[in-house]
Amino acid sequence: GENVEQHPSTLSVQEGDSAVIKCTYSDSASNYFPWYKQELGKRPQLIIDIRSNVGEKKDQRIAVTLNKTAKHFSLHITETQPEDSAVYFCAAPGGYNKLIFGAGTRLAVHP
Amino acid sequence: ETGVTQTPRHLVMGMTNKKSLKCEQHLGHNAMYWYKQSAKKPLELMFVYNFKEQTENNSVPSRFSPECPNSSHLFLHLHTLQPEDSALYLCASSPTQDERNTIYFGEGSWLTVV
């Protein structure tokens, strides 16, 4: 089955800096990679996703890159703000129409 | 408001109690999920229902019993739980059970087993 590893587990940055979270997956047939954000005490919500036919996707300050050869994908947040502080989860298809989530990265953005 | 509502939001139960968690979605989706979120295993898939049929049981102990009477409602019946079952239980839904569909989570039910 699919195995999704996410690094780092915690990340602390200064406001305005960039943050990068990386995930690796094992199934070369995987073709859809979403990222979810979970603020403290809130539910996880989809923030961006990428499909295997593109290498990069951007939405304002967030972007996701995909390297199918190396089987990894990354979330990039530029000009970080305190409201970006949350836990971020990557995910990849885990066979038969289900997603396997990474262990999560706790991002802290300090003013 | 995402359209996925869970009740109760907080539950404390003894190991011999029987309780149920309820989930309702108003999004017209046909797939519903139960996830367990704990410090050890964030976002661990438990059960999946697609068009009211259970399609996934991720080796969940029988003390957790799901029920899906229709595509809008999902229950998790709890019986003789253990303290290690204390966690946040998240219900979610998606248009159908397809990994390319966005999953919409509820706010979760915090369960404490004493």
The string of DSSP letters for B50-104 reads: ETTEEEEE-S--TTEEEEEEETTEEEEEEES--GGG-EEEEEEEESSS-TTSPPE
CA distance A55 to chain B (A): 17
Tell me the pLDDT tens digit for each residue of A22-59: 999 998 888 899 999 999 989 999 999 998 888 999 99
Q: Give B52-89 pLDDT, tens digit per residue.
A: 999 999 899 999 999 999 999 999 999 999 999 999 99
Using 50, 70 and 90 to split pLDDT, how confident is the model at B98?
A: confident
B5 to chain A: closest CA residue: A43
Chain B CB within 8 Å of residue A43 CB: yes
Residue B2 confidence (pLDDT):
60
Cβ contacts (< 8 Å) between A97 and chain B: which residues?
Answer: 50, 55, 97-99
C-alpha distance from A100 to closest chain B C-alpha (Å): 8
Contact B111, B34 (CB under 8 A): no
Confidence of residue B101 (pLDDT cuts 50, 70, 90): confident
B1: CB partners within 8 A, 6+ apart = none
pLDDT tens, position by position, A60-92: 999 999 999 999 999 999 999 999 999 999 999
